[in-house]
Chains A and B, each alone.
Chain A
């Protein structure tokens, strides 16, 4: 595997379900990110982890819970979601700091909440 991978690629869940999204990076980076992309809205940064510590949490509802067990893996645990949480969830990784460091993205998980 190369780059940034995400599983599952598609997910349909009910509002009472609990599910987890997984992201893995094979680039040797030390920072990882979760973004939410809804239709007709700019990309929204949800969580940032740098060196496995959370750096940023942009006022995301508590029904989204991130976990970063090591620098290569990032999870997003989902519980009691709402239909408006349906979106494309993108994971990215980069080297922390350094102006030129690029974020590399995974293919995303398309989530539908019924």
Chain B
């Protein structure tokens, strides 16, 4: 079974509107972390936001927020007020365990977001 599932291969959003990118995960660990990265066409993976499994509040970073539903094992990324520069691939990733040596991440397959002017 896949550990990280992103079911939307591609999405369109109108500029200035909000968009939600889905991510579900599978783990038996009680302690884990969830990450979202953005990858523009240039190739670099840019860290956006982090949510810990024990964090009681949803993480927010500027226009990015994470809709964390632990019981449903989902960690959806919400981008408010979309901008043309938000067009990119978006990846959800998970780190399992509190102290896994090497701090390894498992990535989902990604969602391509296209912002329409």
**Residues of A with Cβ closer than 8 Å to B?**
31, 41-43, 45, 48-50, 55-56, 88, 90, 92, 94-108, 110
Q: Which residues of B contact A41 (CB under 8 A)?
A: 109
Closest to B37 in A: A105
Selected contact of B108 from candidates A42, A56, A96, A102, CB within 8 Å: A42
A31 in complex: contacting residue of B43, B46, B52, B102, CB < 8 Å: B102
Interface size class of B (residues with CB under 8 A): 20 to 34
A96 near B91 with CB under 8 A, answer no
How far in angstroms is the closest Cβ of chain A from B21?
15
Interface, chain B (partner A; CB < 8 A): 31-33, 35, 37, 42-47, 50, 52, 91, 95, 98-105, 107-110
- CB of B43 within 8 A of CB of A42, answer no
Which of A90, A99, A105 is close to B33, meaning CB atoms less than 8 Å apart? Answer: A99
Docked-complex contact B101 and A55, CB < 8 angstroms: yes
Question: Count the A-B residue pairs with Cβ separation under 8 angstroms: how many?
Answer: 66
- The answer to whether B99 touches A56, judged by C-beta atoms less than 8 angstroms apart, is no
CB-CB under 8 A from A50, the residues of chain B are 101-103
The answer on a CB contact under 8 Å between A45 and B104 is yes
Q: Which 4 A-B pairs have the closest CB atoms?
A: A55-B102, A105-B45, A108-B43, A48-B102
Q: Name the A residues within 8 Å of B46 (CB-CB).
A: 105
Chain A residue contacts of B31, Cβ below 8 A: 99
Residue of B nearest to A41 (CB): B109
Known: A98-B99, A98-B103. 4 other contacts (CB 8 A): A56-B102, A100-B33, A100-B52, A110-B43
